[in-house]
Amino acid sequence: MSNSMETAPKEEKKWYYDSIHHVDKSIIEEKAQTLSTPPMLDDNDKYAFSFTHPLQDGQRLLFTQIESIIDNAIRYGTYLLACSFMVNNAEVLKKLADAAKNLPGKVYVLVGNKTNEFFSTNKEYRDENEGLSTLAKAGALVRYMQNAHLKFITNGKESLICTANFSTEGLFKNPEFGISLRNEGIGAQLNRLFSYLWNETSDEMLVNDNWLHISRDQSNKYLYKMIKECKPEIIISAASKIKDINQKQHILVGETLYQVIVKQLETAKSSIDLAVYLFDTLGKKELERISDILIAKVKSGANVRILVPSIKTQVARQMKGVLEKLRKAGISVRYYRELHGKCLIIDKQQTLLFTGNIDRYLVAGDSCDIGILVSDPATVRNFCSVFDHLWADAAVNFDVNAPVDLHVDLVITSHEFLSQKNPISIFKLKERIDNSKNIQFYHHESGSMLKITGDNDRSLNLDMTVKGQDAIEMQEEMLSISGILDSNPKMKMKEANLSTVKNLSLKLIWAV
């Protein structure tokens, strides 16, 4: 008889994800926003305009454009440069990982958010190890750059500049905008920009599951060095980076994103249409100048419309005072669901697509956003059509109820239970939250806990592990949390900070 014992195979954990958005019933007063099918667009722009809409599908879908750029990089043996504040959609991760295996040493990914724990997927579950580490293990080169808020991908021949993060919400749910460009000149400019950001501003590389500080390598073989001049079309927000990049060769537009926005606003004669995720000009003279120009344009007879999100009420509340001032001056303001797209349309003749917000980061020296100004008539018409469509569906009140399942592909079946001492289904949890009398959040470095108290004064405690500053956001009465449910809590309750909230946005991951 052998002394060795066979080890039983380790049972694989399955990880589940869902998102709950609860808004206190006291602010729900208006009829829910409608959700209508997007309009037919002008095909003469050859898919230069791409977008995300909850009911949209087909060739213009941002994800379809990303998929095509990746597939063609593999087909023609070129390279891939991808930049996004967040890269956590399962499909994009898989496509980039496949590219890394087919194009060894030629796939570069630059991120502005290192968070790897909370991946976003439209599958029912994924393996716990998937995330940014999927790319590193496949051979992709992944680096982190602080305050990198740019979103683009290029294979040198084809490029996409868009407002969407490479997340499920950005690519399949939130209204977003993008420009698809079959232009090697644009590819060269993006390559030069990417090369600078990669070599000069970043020194943390993802190796398997760890971020390591490494020396900045100036000899990356596939990062482009421009030889011939081409018309600069790429706009970024950081003045110092523009100066450095253009020192030897004029690659980028010489003005910052803020300066271009101001110049475009000043040239407007008949109309200004602005879609933006955040409009907050308080405390910054440069940003207040934008409000002043908008008011002056209305007084001169121009039609000015501003479209902002409504479901993220913590963002909407932050903007309320500024937008109310503009509304009183005669500017039309509407609120559309989880709008995250940003564009500025001037006189129906030019469109500026940009990734930033009208906030302090737009004028900050260390923050980096990207933009591009287009005047192609068909492309501008398509921007106008989609803006008009969103405007027609939008609400006039920032706290309107918009009961849209933003994670419709993340539905979890009723037999799947949360891993808690007292098992509860995800649907029962949603019911508990919706019918709660009181919600308290305890947070400490040792752990976190949500205490949900019902009408019968019985409480449900959800123990959580919350990592990173971005995982908790508190704006007035709205608390946003992303976390993993913890079946073995070690939280020090007496030392924890306590918050009581009326409104809750909760993203959960748990294992069974």
Residues 318 and 425 in one domain: no
Give the model's confidence band at 404: pLDDT under 50 very low, under 70 low, under 90 confident, else very high: very low
211 lies in the same domain as 155? yes
Tell me what pLDDT residue 430 has. Answer: 76
Which of 82-86, 448-452, 483-487 is the most confident on average? 82-86
421-436: burial string, b at 16+ Cβ within 10 Å, e else:
eeeeebeebeebbeeb
- Taking residues 214-226, report their average pLDDT: 63
Residue 8 forms part of a structural domain: no
Place of tokens 């009961």: 403
Angle at the Cα of 469 from the Cα atoms of 497 and 288, rounded to 5 degrees: 105
Helix (H) or strand (E) run with residue 343 in it = strand 343-346
Beta-carbon contacts of 251 under 8 Å, excluding residues fewer than 6 positions away, are 189, 192, 193, 226, 232, 234, 245
What DSSP string describes 253-308? -SS-HHHHHHHHHHH-SSEEEEE-S-B--TT-HHHHHHHHHHHHHHHTT-EEEEEE
DSSP string, 19-85: EEEE--GGG--SPPPP--PPPP--GGGTT-EEEE-TT--STTBHHHHHHHHHHHHHHHT--EEEEES
> Regarding predicted confidence, which is higher, 386 or 125?
386
pLDDT mean over 348-353: 98
Residues 136 and 54 placed together within one structural domain of the fold: yes
Q: Is the pLDDT of residue 149 over 60?
A: yes
In order of 111, 156, 191, 192, 294, the CA distances from 245 in angstroms are: 20, 18, 11, 8, 32
335 and 432 co-located in one domain: no
Predicted pLDDT at 497: 84
Closest residue by Cα to residue 256 from 382, 89, 368: 368
Q: For the segment 317-341, what is each residue's pLDDT rounded down to a tens digit?
A: 678 889 999 999 999 999 988 899 9
The CATH number of the domain where 125 resides is what?
Answer: 3.30.870.10
Overall number of domains in the chain: 3
Residue 36 has pLDDT above 60, yes or no: yes
Question: Do 351 and 430 share a domain, yes or no?
Answer: no
State pTM to two decimals. 0.75
Structural domain ending residue among the three candidates 344, 366, 393: 393
Nearest to 428 by CA among 462, 401, 463: 462
Domain-embedded: residue 6: no
Range of the domain at 174: 26-245
| HSE, side-chain direction, 13 A CA sphere, residue 337 | 24
Instruction: Answer yes or no: is pLDDT of 117 > 50.
Output: no
| Residues 391, 334: Cα–Cα separation, whole Å | 7
Task: Assess whether 43 and 79 both reside in one domain.
Answer: yes
